[in-house]
């Protein structure tokens, strides 16, 4: 059975992180302000990881399939109608970005980070909303 309290805690973490990066983050300073750089990168990493955690819980709990990698979690959720296909693809790419943050930090392209902050963090909010709707619908 899906642990709705756990899911809600993780969704709140996503929403809080997105709100913080939008209000406190200054992506234009990424190359010159180490505090901004670390804040934005850590906050994005935490939000993406929370989305991965939610996806993992839903896929495992509802026995939706066997992902071979974290990005596959979102593909599975897309195929099962928890999230739409285009959102699943964008979130799968975000997992790749998170992997670079964690494992290949020195190869990070700050322009991609700026783009994610300005354009793509809304995908995390769309994910949170879709998961809530899915839970409310009993899926």
Average of pLDDT values for 105-131? 92
Superfamily covering domain 4-136 = bsu32300-like (1.20.120.580)
Q: Are the C-beta atoms of 97 and 124 separated by less than 8 Å?
A: no
With a CB cutoff of 8 Å and minimum separation 6, the contacts of 139 are: 81, 82
Q: What is the pTM of this model?
A: 0.93
What integer pLDDT is reported at residue 137 of this predicted model?
A: 79
Instruction: Provide the H-helix boundaries in the chain.
Output: 4-23, 34-61, 70-79, 85-103, 110-115, 122-136
84-110 pLDDT, tens per residue? 999 999 999 999 999 998 887 677 889
Confidence tier at 9 by pLDDT (50, 70, 90): very high
**Is the pLDDT confidence value at 77 over 60?**
yes
The domain spans of the chain are 4-136
CA atoms of 3 and 59, how far apart (whole Å): 12
């Amino acid at each position: 059975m899906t642990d709705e309290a756990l899911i809600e805690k993780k969704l709140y973490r996503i929403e809080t992180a997105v709100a913080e990066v939008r209000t406190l983050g200054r992506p234009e300073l990424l190359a010159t302000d180490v505090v901004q750089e670390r804040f934005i990168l850590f906050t994005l990493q935490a939000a993406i990881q929370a989305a991965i955690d939610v996806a993992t819980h839903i896929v495992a709990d509802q026995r939706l399939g066997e992902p071979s990698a974290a990005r596959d979690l979102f593909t599975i959720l897309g195929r099962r109608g928890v999230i739409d296909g285009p959102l699943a693809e964008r979130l799968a790419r975000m997992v790749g970005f998170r992997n670079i943050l964690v494992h290949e930090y020195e190869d990070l392209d700050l322009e991609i980070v700026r783009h994610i902050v300005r354009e793509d963090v809304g995908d995390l909010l769309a994910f949170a909303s879709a998961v809530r709707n899915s839970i409310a619908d009993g899926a």
